[in-house]
Structure 1
Amino acid sequence: MHQASRLTLALALTGLAVGLAPATANATPGRGVSAVTLFDHVVGGTQYVLKEITLAPGGSTGWHFHPGVVSGVVERGVLSHHDATCASDGVYHAGQAITEASGPGYVHIGRNLGTEPVVLEVLYRVPVGQEPAVDVPNPGCSFD
């Protein structure tokens, strides 16, 4: 994605997540996750952070929630997404958008169950001073 397109995405989207925040006790941190910050800017009391996130095959974000709304686009691969009931709440293919709700009431995990990396362009819209994602313990699912 060109720099201008990234900036346009950052400004057009309002707020996916990856457990990149400091871990809490018994949290399930991500594995096989790497991220590059493409844009980080504060407007008023909101911080806008655009990241390119890569999940290696077999990787996961770990269980987490976001203090702000998160939006993203799958650039490559297939992202499997599950909520705290352990149910799938979406499978996202290249070219598809994903939006995640905010708050501890929406604990979730993103996983790469495929054999190729998943690459995401993700915009976090969070209150200034808060982490984009908060790691939490596995809610009782047989996977993490």
Structure 2
Amino acid sequence: MGAAISLSLVGSAARATPPDPGVFGTVIWQQTVGGTDYTLREVHLPPHTDTGWHFHDGNLYATVKSGTLSHFDATCESDGVYPTRSFVFEPGGPGNVHIGRNLGDTEVVLEVLYVLPKGSPFSEDAPNPGCDFE
């Protein structure tokens, strides 16, 4: 998962929304089989940060190790609230733009399995679809 702070539109062109400062991931394990990269990462979202709007080129499977992840889709609606020990699935493709937010005071830690086409980045930044979470 990536993260972001810029949640606005600039003029008529939308701006990509990279992760908030302090959001980071560490690779635990990685293997390529055929044309698919399998990567296990631990992703950290400090309190009151987000992943930024993004999508993935393949599917993600995650477990919330601590905190509560709030997840929103491109319609600006919540599509899940995931407390500790919850499972999260994110389908791949540019039609699945989303943002993960830590609205709480406890760090969110995710264990994430990325199943991506070989050589793909972990996420692709996307512009804010017009959501105002302030």
TM-score of the superposition, structure 2-length normalised? Answer: 0.88
Residue 109 of structure 1, aligned match among 84, 99, 103 = 99
1:74-123 Cα distance to aligned partner (Å, 9 max, x none):
00000000000000000001001000011000100000000010000001
Gaps of 5+ in 1: 1-16
Aligned equivalents of 2:44, 2:74: Cα separation in 1: 22
Match of 2:47 in 1: 57
User: What residue is the counterpart of 1:123 in the other structure?
Assistant: 113
Q: Superposition RMSD on alpha carbons, in Å?
A: 1.6
Contact 2:62 2:89 in 1 (8 A): yes
For 1:22-59, what per-residue CA distance to the aligned partner results, in whole angstroms no more than 9, with x for missing partners?
xxx72001113111110111011100111000100011
**Alignment partners' CA distance in 2, 1:44 and 1:119:** 30
Find the counterpart in structure 1 of residue 86 from structure 2. Answer: 96
Q: Alignment identity in percent?
A: 52
Residue 77 of structure 1: aligned partner: 67
CA distance in 1, matches of 2:18, 2:132: 16
- Where does residue 27 of structure 2 map in the other structure? 37
Gaps of at least 5 residues in structure 2 are 5-13
